[in-house]
Amino acid sequence: MRSLAVAMLAGSLLIASTASARDCDEWTGSLHIGSGVEAPARWAPRHDSRLARLVITSSDGKVDLLLTPTAVAFQISDRKMASLEHKLRDKQDDGDDDTPIGDAFKTAVLAGVRVLLKHSAECPVRELRDVDYRDGALVFTTTDGNHLFHGLEVNDSELLGAFSERDARAFVHEFRRMKAAYR
């Protein structure tokens, strides 16, 4: 799970460090995963949001929460991912490196960032007992009764509280409907 933090932070830092001063405000911030995130959550390939039963996006537009037939997953939003891909392509093609070694290093770093960004933090639906919306935040409860994803933070704010009440309640409703159909 810490890999999601590393990927998002690395991408933000890389782009912020190479962007012009006028673009830096767009890339400030970080994602922190505290010690509260543990199994059964895992690092997994990015999901195609078009195949999800439901996708909600954080109020700042940076993170999507997907409900698929088999998993719930947090990942960089499609909109933000498209923006990051555009910035990475621009950086790859900027021609700032005047040596073959510098160009090779930049290519390797950008490729690594792309690979890391194309992942999600997910948990299999079968490992979750319930999802609820309490006190302005989503609460994921595992079959063992533990809370999951409660250590996720974006810009020093709990990610689980980063979704509108309407969207979060729609997610809870759809999760419960899907779980009831499996029983």
Nearest residue to 131 (alpha-carbon basis) of 166, 151, 160, 153: 160
Report how far residue 4's alpha carbon sits from residue 24's, in angstroms, rounded to the nearest whole number.
21
- Name the more confident of 1 and 64: 64
User: pTM value?
Assistant: 0.72
pLDDT in tens, 56-108: 999 999 899 999 999 999 988 888 878 777 777 777 777 666 677 776 766 67
State in Å, rounded, how far the first CA of the chain is from the last one: 29
Give the pLDDT of residue 50. 94
Report how far residue 179's alpha carbon sits from residue 183's, in angstroms, rounded to the nearest whole number.
7
Give the pLDDT of residue 120. 86
Joined tokens for residue 25: 């405000």
Locus of tokens 């998993």: 71
Domain segments of the chain: what residues?
2-182
Look at residue 182 and tell me whether its pLDDT is greater than 80: no
pLDDT in tens, 29-48: 444 444 434 788 888 899 99
Give the pLDDT of residue 101. 74
